[in-house]
Homo-oligomer: A and B are copies of this chain.
Amino acid sequence: MASDESRAESPVPENRSGRVVHVPGPAVRRLSLYLRELEGFLRQQRDTVSSLQLGRTLGLTDAQVRKDLAHFGQFGQPGVGYRVEEMIGQIRRILGTDRSWRALLVGAGNLGRALLSYRGFERKGFEIVAVFDNDPNKIGLGFGPGLTLNVLPLESLDEVVGKLRVEIAILCIPAEVAQPMVDRLVQAGIRGSLSFAPTAVTVPAHVSLAAVDLAVHLEQLAFQISAGQAAAKPVETPDAT
């Protein structure tokens, strides 16, 4: 699910010197945001950006930006800033999106359809290579942007994961069936899941999980509106297991 807490406790990548260091989970989460901003600067033909500029629209201080990036190496030039193109490449490498990932989608409902038609995933390096559903009426239907994907029955799941070397599963299924489905996917060899089911799900230690609960985000908004004067800093709302 997509809601909350989250100690995405950062694993232990290595920095330029090859030393293995601890990287704060929050820093890793911000990396994706820096990348998104940098891609925007690239479209504006900017060659370099300073930490101040990079943090501005994200509501982050320049010091925060520098600290975050410094966890992974020394990328900036004093007096100049960070080279936009180089930094994009570096962050992609760090996040592991400098190559493409094969994903499958489980649940050919409205949300699944919406995700399939969204081109943003491909641009970021994620390719949805198969769609599954347990509804016999949906099997075989064309799906996705060019209706090039046929909805497959769950029976073929193991086979497809193996043959197509699928590493990531995206779950757009009801809460009640989320845990068993994740278990089955793990069994099939999936290495990570992005779940949109509004329920907690657990996975073995060698498998990764991200969860997005859309209702949780609305609840956070309600809280901010009624209890506070809104978030002090911009928030990319977190989700938890």
Which chain A residues have a beta carbon within 8 Å of chain B's beta carbons? 1-13, 26, 28-33, 35-37, 40, 57-60, 94-97, 101, 103, 109-111, 113-115, 117-118, 120-121, 123-126, 167-168, 191-194, 198-203, 205-241
Contacts and interface: CB of A to CB of B under 8 A. Distances in A.
A238 B228 CA distance: 19
A68 to B, nearest CB: 9
Contacts of A4: 29-30, 32-33, 58, 234-236, 238
A118 B217 CA distance: 14
A1 to B, nearest CB: 5
30 contacts: A2-B2, A3-B29, A3-B33, A6-B26, A6-B29, A6-B231, A11-B227, A12-B227, A28-B223, A29-B240, A30-B240, A37-B200, A40-B199, A57-B202, A59-B241, A95-B226, A96-B227, A111-B118, A113-B114, A114-B114, A120-B215, A168-B221, A192-B225, A201-B234, A209-B235, A210-B231, A235-B238, A235-B241, A238-B239, A239-B239
Contacts of A193: 221
Contacts of A28: 220, 223
Given A4-B234, A59-B241, A205-B229, 16 more contacts: A2-B217, A3-B32, A3-B236, A32-B220, A33-B240, A58-B240, A95-B219, A97-B222, A113-B114, A121-B215, A192-B222, A192-B224, A194-B221, A202-B234, A237-B240, A239-B239
Contacts of A237: 2, 6, 8, 29, 210-212, 238-240
Nearest to A59: B241
Interface class of chain A by DSSP = mixed
B228 A10 contact: yes
